[in-house]
Structure 1
Amino acid sequence: MGLRERKKEKTRLAVLDAALDLFLEQGYESTTVEQIAEAADISPRTFFRYFTSKDHLVLWFHDHGEEIILETLAGRPLDEPPFTSLMHGLRAVLADVESSTDEDTGRFLKLRRLLDANPQLFGRSVARGTQTEHTLAEAIAGRRGVDPHEDQLTHLIVAFAMSTMRVGFEWPCREGTVTEIVARMRETIELAERSLRPGWDAS
């Protein structure tokens, strides 16, 4: 990462940190973009160079996870079973979480607290997750050589894969350290792989 990119990343994280602290201190709805910009020592105009809205800021982790999965899929063999390829993508997301800095871990836990305290934000997170599933379905359909608008199996493959993340994240409880949460997610992925008959995702 060059100097320019490092400076942009530093500013992005400063905005994110300022916003999370304000959201938790005074409430999401009560916090304005102007307040976030002031706390991060930038202008509101600069804020919108990094985030399109407050919602985008809260849901940034969806963008990051989606990018990791898509990059992983692009590097997997085309003849690999699609569910297997997606599981490699999910494991790549977990590996990214495990390699996070203490600061990244703190942001993750703050986001979790924020979503737990704001049901409307949790709903938006679910909606953003649905967008990711549609994007992944297009990628899987491309690998399978089918039309994503007509092939139900493609969407079922993606839904099964992403449900392992949801179950691992939320059950049997939503509490725990990042290490414990990641361990639960890995266990759920392994359970899903053991539970499905080989070849179920074949055309």
Structure 2
Amino acid sequence: MSAPTDQGGLRARKKQRTRAALIDAGLDLFLAHGYEATTIDEIAAAVEVSPRTFFRYFASKEDIALAKGAEFDELMLDALAARPAAEPPLDALRHAVLEMLRAAATDSGVQRFLSTQHLITKTPALLAGNLRRAAGTEERLTAEIAKRQRLDPAEDMRPRVLVGAVCSALRIGLEATCADPSRELDRMVELVAQAIGLATAGIPQRWGEDPHRW
């Protein structure tokens, strides 16, 4: 009775390995030759699959470039949802962001993680898609913060403002890390934490009842 389940598990693992291999091959080619110069046929060939197989996993090469960012967004959202319910919203969001960074660096390596972020921000064809992805993630983070605070984000802007400030700080911290010669994990976490501190200075741990002030 266990054979069908085992076969299903094997198929799922094989599909996951193929998907991960396509992402890794695509990023390698993008970073080596540029996004525009890289073709889907080249990505498929690097993994020894057909272009038809490629399209079973991804609709375009843009999806390859943005796939890791989407995975890291899910890590951040899961980390925020797992924070203690009584933890102040800023602390919970800061911990979630820094936990995501550590996981991202462990998965990809700091240098590769930063190089991918740089590729996206410097490639017009990718920037719009990345901004759409980031906007969707901010909406979900806002909803989680609002739920934790028992607020309606349509009537109280504080969750959205907090998330916007922290996400902007994350971007600035990563830009600062790209300019830092060491590009080490601890330094990346330090710079992002510093940027979050600057962006959220003055926001109290506990919010009052008035939605027009912290």
Tell me, yes or no, whether TM beats 0.5: yes
Relative distance call for 1:98 and 1:26 in structure 2 (3 A) is: closer
1:123-202 pair list within 5 angstroms: 123-171=128-176, 174-176=179-181, 177-179=183-185, 180-192=187-199, 195-199=201-205, 201-202=207-208
Q: What TM-score do you get using the length of structure 2 for normalisation?
A: 0.76
CA distance in 2, matches of 1:30, 1:156: 39
- The one of 38, 45, 62 equivalent to 1:31 is 38
Change (3 A) 1:199 1:104: closer
In 2, the alpha carbon distance for the partners of 1:149 and 1:45 equals: 44
Identity, % of aligned pairs?
38
Alpha-carbon contact 1:138-1:148 (below 8 Å) kept: yes
Deviation digits for residues 75-126 of structure 1 (CA, Å, limit 9, x no counterpart): 22323222221111112112213434xx644542441452354244234323
Mapping of 1:60-79 within 5 angstroms? Answer: 60-79=67-86
8 Å CA contact 2:90–2:205 kept in 1: the answer is no
After superposition, where does 1:78-89 map in structure 2 within 5 Å? Answer: 78-89=85-96
In the TM superposition, what is the alpha-carbon distance from 1:191 to its structure 2 partner? 4.5
Q: Per-residue CA shift, 1:33-68, capped at 9, x if unaligned?
A: 233112211123332343332222111232122211
Counterpart in the other structure of 1:44 = 51
Identify if the C-alpha distance between structure 1 residues 150 and 94 changes in structure 2 by more than 3 Å, giving closer, same or farther. Answer: same
- TM-score scaled to structure 1, two decimals? 0.79
Q: Please say if residues 82 and 140 of structure 1, whose CA atoms lie closer than 8 Å, have aligned partners that are also in contact.
A: yes
Q: Is the 8 A contact 1:20 1:110 kept in 2?
A: no
Shift of 1:200: 5.9
Relative distance call for 1:165 and 1:44 in structure 2 (3 A) is same
Match of 2:19 in 1: 12
Alpha carbons 1:17, 1:107 under 8 Å: kept = no
Matched residue count: 199
- Structure 2 residue aligned with 1:93, among 96, 100, 104? 100
Could you list the structure 1 runs, at least 4 aligned residues long, displaced by more than 6 angstroms after superposition.
none
AA aligned opposite 1:174: A
Once the 2 structures are TM-superposed, how far is the Cα of residue 174 of structure 1 from its aligned partner? Answer: 3.5
- Could you list the runs of 5+ residues in structure 2 that have no partner in the other structure? 1-8, 210-214
